[in-house]
A and B are shown apart, each in its own frame.
Chain A
Amino acid sequence: MVDFGRVQKELQECNKDINVSGISVNPKSDNLTSLIGTIPGPIGTPYEGGTFKIDIDLPDGYPFEPPRMKFATKVWHPNISSQSGAICLDILKDQWSPALTLKVALLSIQALLSAPQPNDPQDAVVAQQYLKDYQTFASTAHYWTESFAKTSSLGIEEKVQKLVEMGFPEGLVRSTLEVVDGDENLALEKLCSG
Chain B
Amino acid sequence: MMAVYTERPQGSRAERLTSFSLDDIAVPTGREEEWRFTPVTRLAPLFEPAHHPDAVTMDVSLAPEVEAEVVPTTDPRLGKAGKPGDRTAVAAWNATQQAVVVTIPEGVAASEVTTLDVRALTSDPEVVQILVHAKPHSQAVVVLDHHGVGTVNETVEMVVEDHADLTVVAVQDWDDGAIHASSHRSVLGEGARLKHVVVTFGGDVVRVTPDASFLAEDGNVEMVGLYFADAGQHLEHRLFVDHSQPNCVSRVTYKGALQGAGAHAVWVGDVLIQAAATGTDTYELNRNLVLTKGARADSVPNLEIETGEIEGAGHASATGRFDDEQLYYLMSRGITEPEARRLVVHGFFAELLSDIDIPEVKERLLASIEEELEHSMTAMTSGGK
A binds B: no
- Name B residues whose Cβ lies closer than 8 Å to a Cβ of A: none
